[in-house]
A = this chain, B = another copy of it.
Amino acid sequence: MSKADDHREAIQERKRQERERRVQDILDAAKKLFFLKGYLKMTMDDIALEVRVSKPTIYQYFKSKDELFFSLLTPASEKTEKALGEIERNLLDGRYGSGSTLLHDIFQALYRVYQTDPDAFRILQLFQQSGMVWALNEDVRRDLVVKARITFAQGRSILQAAMEQGLIHRRDIYPLNDVVWALFIGIVQLEDTKSKGKKGNRFLKPTLEMAERLMIEAMAADGRGGACPNLEP
């Protein structure tokens, strides 16, 4: 009965693909509507209509509106993880000659993730207020917390290695990592708000550049930009 088995298997495979595609369609529709109308105004019926499917079909694939919504996060989270992972690898391989280039790369990496998927980034920020606004399903919450923990651990690991290599000044790693992350997120959020309605955040880039410069001056071993040139003539 290997032929019958093959048949069954092929059918299973097709079905799996179909399910996957439907999930993707739903996610796309949700994303589109979220950025068109915002979270509260995007209804499950809207999404269903957009996918040309009925509401319960969506609930077949996602337990709740929250879960569907936060599923939009995953790609950006993975991208961040990948980008930071690469920096970490380069750092551990001793490929960074200065703290300023390292910090520059970190900011660049985060900025690039933001650019390729600003939507997901905004959702990530929203999550930070999850407790305020939502009553998240426990599963969803746990998932998000895990994602966050991974990113933070990566950040700390990078800072740790950078300190050991003398690229940046020694400081308490936990708050330092928090400061960098909070700074980036805070700026994206702030400039996003400011340029509400207009397309393109005119202020985001200069503000991020300013932040990078300040952090380099404060953190990087080579960051004083020739402030004390007289010491070593």
Could you list which residues of chain A lie within 8 angstroms of chain B, going by C-beta atoms?
A: 37-41, 122, 125-135, 171-172, 174-176, 178-179, 181-187, 189-193, 196, 203, 206-207, 209-211, 213-215, 217-219, 224, 227-228, 230-231
Is B189 touching A187 in the complex (CB atoms < 8 A)? Answer: no
Is A191 touching B218 in the complex (CB atoms < 8 A)? Answer: no
Question: Which residues of B are found within 8 Å of A192, using beta-carbon distances?
Answer: 128
Q: Can you name 13 A-B pairs with beta carbons within 8 Å?
A: A38-B132, A126-B132, A131-B196, A175-B209, A175-B210, A178-B191, A183-B211, A185-B186, A214-B219, A217-B217, A224-B228, A228-B228, A230-B231
Is B179 touching A187 in the complex (CB atoms < 8 A)? Answer: yes
Instruction: Please provide the 7 A-B residue pairs with the shortest distance between their CB atoms, ordered closest to farther.
Output: A186-B186, A182-B186, A175-B210, A214-B218, A218-B218, A228-B228, A217-B218
Task: Select one of B174, B186, B224 contacting A189, CB under 8 A.
Answer: B186
Is B41 touching A135 in the complex (CB atoms < 8 A)? Answer: yes
Task: Select one of B39, B175, B183, B224 contacting A179, CB under 8 A.
Answer: B183
Question: Which residues of B are found within 8 Å of A132, using beta-carbon distances?
Answer: 38-39, 122, 126
C-alpha spacing A176/B210, complex, angstroms: 7
CB nearest neighbor in B for A223: B218
C-alpha spacing A191/B102, complex, angstroms: 25
C-alpha spacing A127/B129, complex, angstroms: 11
Is A182 touching B179 in the complex (CB atoms < 8 A)? Answer: no
Question: Which residues of B are found within 8 Å of A193, using beta-carbon distances?
Answer: 127-131
Known pairs A133-B126, A185-B190, A186-B186; A179 contacts B38 (CB<8 A): no
Question: Which residues of B are found within 8 Å of A187, using beta-carbon distances?
Answer: 178-179, 182, 186
C-alpha spacing A203/B182, complex, angstroms: 13
Distance between A193 CB and nearest chain B CB, rounded to angstroms: 5
Question: Which residues of B are found within 8 Å of A217, using beta-carbon distances?
Answer: 217-218
C-alpha spacing A134/B196, complex, angstroms: 13
C-alpha spacing A230/B128, complex, angstroms: 46
C-alpha spacing A187/B186, complex, angstroms: 8
Question: Which residues of B are found within 8 Å of A186, using beta-carbon distances?
Answer: 181-187, 189
